[in-house]
Amino acid sequence: MLTRIDHIGIACFDLERTTEFYRATYGFEVFHTEVNEEQGVREAMLRINGTDDGGASYIQLLEPVREDSTVAKWLDKNGEGVHHIAFGTADVDADSEEIRGRGVRVLYDEPRRGSMDSRITFLHPKDCHGVLTELVTAAVPGTPGNSSATTSH
């Protein structure tokens, strides 16, 4: 089932300023950047370490690119800070169905495209003790469209 903490998502107002804080304070460098139009965010993935399952753990910084995005609404209500936690899984489809069968609301009927061509879904925070929870299956390295280094869109 779940194999690791994939990332901690942090909502921010200014991606460059927040990225610089994490670089200057902790030494974390940007591994990947992209704009996810569907989610309405510009993001930076800061790689923390590799893991036994071939994945890695990241800090994901999220800046909204439009006012109607979920992250923009969250920032208006809560200000900057931890937005969600994401767990890595080898099979987001099977694991989300198993979790749904345990009575937890899964927010997407079918997983969607996430950062670095991953496949993702979210679990409702009211069913997860107030924590928005994401499930992530990383893209297979070397597959078409997979980004394994920093790219900007």
Give the residue numbers marked as catalytic: 7, 43, 60, 84, 134
| SS3 per residue for 78-137 | HCCEEEEEEEEECCHHHHHHHHHHCCCCECCCCCEECHHHCEEEEECHHHCCCCCEEEEE
On whether the CB atoms of residues 4 and 87 are closer than 8 A, the answer is yes
